[in-house]
Amino acid sequence: MSTIKKIHTDKAPAAVGPYSQAIIANGVVYTSGQIPLDPATGEIVEGDIKEQADRVMKNITAVVEEAGTNMKNVIKTMCFLSDMNDFADFNEVYSRYFTEKPARSCVAVKSLPKNALCEIEVIAIL
């Protein structure tokens, strides 16, 4: 029988819709997409792709840690950029957080919630 647990931390933005920050199922953590919202204000952080990507990474880290694991146990990331011209600067920030180089998809999308420049979701193991 599978066990499912919802994850919530105040160190990351609250879900702005009918979803959880993350779900643990059978020892695997599946996060919802995180955009660069400041958890204290609920507002998008000001700045360029590097500043926004850093906030997203902090949000992802908080959710993953609340689930009982860490960034080294992330096995897959799905990254969404509003402009592929930001790819190199995004990677610069990304590489500081994901030192174990998980599998990854990175695509450009037409737009993101609240006009964010990037969004990331991850899959991690406990």
CA angle 105, 44, 80 (to 5 degrees): 10
pLDDT at 3: 87
pLDDT at 1: 60
- Checking if the pLDDT of 121 tops 80, the result is yes
> Do residues 19 and 11 lie in contact, with contact meaning Cβ atoms separated by under 8 Å?
no
pLDDT at 83: 98
> Do residues 27 and 87 lie in contact, with contact meaning Cβ atoms separated by under 8 Å?
no
Domain of 16, in residue numbers: 4-125
The residues annotated with a catalytic role in the active site are 106
- Checking if the pLDDT of 66 tops 80, the result is yes
Q: Calculate what percentage of the chain has a pLDDT beyond 90.
A: 95
Q: Write down the pTM of the prediction.
A: 0.95
Number of domains in the chain: 1
Indicate which CATH number applies to the domain containing 47. Answer: 3.30.1330.40
Mean pLDDT of the chain: 96
d(CA 56, CA 36): 5
